[in-house]
Structure 1
Amino acid sequence: MAELIIHSEKIKENLKYLSHYFETHNIAWSLITKLFSGDKTFLKTILTEDIIEKIPSVGDSRLMSLRNIREVYPNVKTIYINPSVAEHADDVVTYADISLNTSITTIEALNVAAKKKNVIHKIIIMVELGDLREGINNEDILAFYKSVFNLSHIEVLGIGSNLGCLFGVEPTPENLMQLSLSKALISEKFKTDLKFLSGGTSITLPLIENNLMPKEINHFRVGEAAFLGICPLDGKQFKELNTDTFELHANIIELQVKNVVPGGIISAAHSIDTIHNNEKNNSVRSYKAILDFGLLDVSKSDIEAENSFLYVGATSDMFVIDLGENKEKYKLGDKIKFKLNYMAVVRLLNSKFIDKVYV
């Protein structure tokens, strides 16, 4: 079975580095763990006590994941980062100390759920800044805040935004400044102060480095940089973070010299993920390897082989490459290594057909 190699110590080094980095810049942060989908082995192996004590809160987009976090670390502060619906209010209040919200109806239900449990549930109101993901329209923020700030068991902790996740709208000082202006309007109108402006994610990190971050932005929600060591804005390493944290090791399960051109009539049932080949000579042959993973596990576009191979095609459970000049280096049973981007790691971690190996 193909293996996803998880370099635990390198990830832990990243988490320690970011904790120190944000502390140095007087920024609170939440580690977003949706990459691991609440896997308890991950929680026990990587989020050890010495790591978790330096992280103000841990966030996830799945309530099941937050439930697992609470089971392993009952005292950790948790944040639910997806807008919810009223019918899930009890679970949100049970598993999350803080939640991101865009619906007055949901917040009212959260208030009822929190009152039943005799707790104060904290919320961050998400504001739309152009990426068209979650968030209320900026011009509606005063009316929205007025509707929820006086609920008995709700504390509005702050306002936030999400940029770069859906359409890739780049965070800039100008669009983030809208959060600062909204905070100022709320402070003036309601004579109150908001603790957090949650405008930072992995893609926003360069603004800190370039001294372009509006000083009011004081909360980041970070996942990709923590686990893969890169800034999504340019796909490059951020500071001294480790980027070689995950690898896919696939086994060669067949190694044969075969024709380059398929033989016979190509039907509509052929694999939808194959290369376009202009070779017309069906006598040309090449050295092909079949690997033990497929499209159910990961997309070809999200992985990169350690060596240069020609991609041939893939089915749901097999991946075929042409070894080309590397043909003498491999034999049946050998492993081919692949580098992975964020989406590749997400899918491989969630595939039940891939072994997860913590090293």
Structure 2
Amino acid sequence: MDFPKLFVNLKKIRENAEKLLETLSKLNIELVAVTKLTLGDPIIAKTLKDAGVIKLGESRLKNIKRMIENNVPGPFQLLRIPMPSELEDAVLLTDEILISEEKVAYMIDEIAKKYDKNIELIYMIDVGDLREGIWYEKAAYTIEKVAKKLKMAKIVGIGTNVGCFGGVLPTKENLNILVEIKDYLDGKLNTNLKISGGSTVTLSLIENNELPSKINQFRIGEGILLGTDATGNRDIPYLSQDTIILEAEVVEVDYKPSVPVGEVGRDSMGRIPHFEDLGWRNRIILAIGEQDIDSSGLKPFDEKLKVLHASSDHTIIDYTDSNKKYSIGDTLKFHLSYGAALRAFTSPFVKKEYIKNA
């Protein structure tokens, strides 16, 4: 049972990491290589370390523990603002934690004192995307107050996240909000706070020479692992997209109408499907479904194929316009969107095969 399968090209992932390290180091920007797409896959994490990455970023403590148990060295940054119930493990397993709540900062400080461990904090600030972070207009004074009360834990930087919830793009203007807050806090606290203000989508500001000079930490996963920028809706031209390839097996080849026959309700996932009447069409069914991938994020190597829809176990492909003929047992190759790759790594039914030298 070899399929469905992800082919993970470690050489190309390493090359992507090396290119980004070179680009960022010229600007004195620290790269935090994010492993959450791969569930903290130790083989991929070691590849990133071999590329020269110092710090790894993860959103799940179980994934960090998995890497540690497989001899992947830190330091580790915890990306997802932590649950109160996991703070003790967060302090013990990580080196740098992203936070957004005053109460959580004090709880971490107490745990750090208990274990006599210095722990570094990045205080997240919301500049408009409406995901995590204290609202920017009240950030400076709140962070100043918190920083003065901490004993073992230390606020070493401020950060923001854009693109992931509201789809807000990074700009020189919204990142300069962080610069202003940093300047205020540095003056009040006699510090030199880092600004964790970059992610894959922020690379475009570097390319256009629009990145504020005081932004000095980027948290990048998608760019390294896929060579794409979902928020910016582009393939990054100087990175490889042939890093992670999905292959799925054909289990049915048939000729059927393009519109269902009968009264249409919702599909098995609760969605209302829409169909265009194109007459009878040649169709393939693949043995992979929404339990394994986000079908809307499948990008067929055969560009004449059209991904129609998927149920939990099957994905339907229209191959009428293709010059190729498909048979049962054939395999189809796909590049993946970030969402599709994330789900494929999460699915226990998708095998992973590692390519080291191609």
TM-score normalised over the length of structure 1: 0.90
Quick one: structure 1 residues 319 and 194, their matched pair in 2 at CA, closer, same or farther if it must change by over 3 Å? same
The Cα offsets for residues 1-21 of structure 1, whole Å up to 9 and x where unpaired, read as: 311221211111111111122
1:306-333 per-residue CA deviation (whole Å, 9 max, x = no partner) reads 2223444422101122321437622221
Structure exhibiting the larger radius of gyration computed from Cα positions: 1
1:50 corresponds to 2:46: no
1:198-251 per-position Cα deviation (integer Å, ceiling 9, x unaligned): 111111112122221111111111111111112344333335211121222111
Q: 1:225 to 1:260 in 2, by over 3 A?
A: closer
Deviation >6 Å, runs of 4+:
none
Gaps of 5+ in 1: none
Contact 1:274 1:314 (C-alpha < 8 Å) held by counterparts:
no
Aligned 1:162-177 pairs, distance under 5 A = 162-177=161-176
Which residue of structure 2 lines up, in the alignment, with residue 37 of structure 1?
Answer: 39
Q: 1:315-354 maps to which residues of 2 (within 5 A)?
A: 315-326=311-322, 329-354=325-350
Partner secondary structure for residue 219 of structure 2? strand
Of the three residues 285, 293, 302, the one matched with 1:298 is: 293
Identity fraction in percent: 31
Say if 1:30 and 1:55, in contact at 8 Å, map to a contact too: yes
Once residues 287 and 50 of structure 1 are traced to their aligned partners in structure 2, the CA distance between those partners, rounded to angstroms, is: 46
In the alignment, residue 60 of structure 1 is paired with which amino acid? E
Q: Deviations over 1:168-187 (max 9, x none)?
A: 11111111111111111112
**Change over 3 Å in CA distance of 1:88–1:234 after alignment to 2:** closer
Query: For residues 72 and 284 of structure 2, what CA distance do their matches in structure 1 show?
Result: 48
State whether structure 2 residue 358 is matched by structure 1 residue 358: no
User: Superposed, which structure 2 residues align to 1:257-336 within 5 Å?
Assistant: 257-260=255-258, 262=260, 265-266=262-263, 268=265, 271=268, 272=271, 274-278=273-277, 285-307=280-302, 308-326=304-322, 329-336=325-332
Partner Cα distance (2:256, 2:125) in 1: 56
Partner letter of residue 151 of structure 1?
L
Partner of 2:13: 11
How many correspondences in the alignment?
Answer: 349
Contact 1:286 1:324 in 2 (8 A): yes
State the secondary structure of the residue aligned to 2:250: strand
**Residues 27 and 218 of structure 1 are in contact (CA less than 8 Å); yes or no, is this contact kept in structure 2?**
yes
What 5-or-longer segments of structure 2 have no aligned partner?
Answer: none
Aligned to 2:221: 223
Quote the offset at 1:273 in angstroms.
6.7
CA distance in 1, matches of 2:309, 2:216: 47
CA RMSD after TM alignment? 2.2
1:117 aligns with 2:106: no
Alignment-derived partner of residue 180 in structure 1: 179
Q: TM-score, normalised by structure 2?
A: 0.90
1:344 alignment partner AA: A
Q: 2:200 aligns with which of 199, 202, 226?
A: 202
Query: What are the equivalent positions in structure 2 for 1:237-256 lying under 5 Å apart?
Result: 237-256=235-254
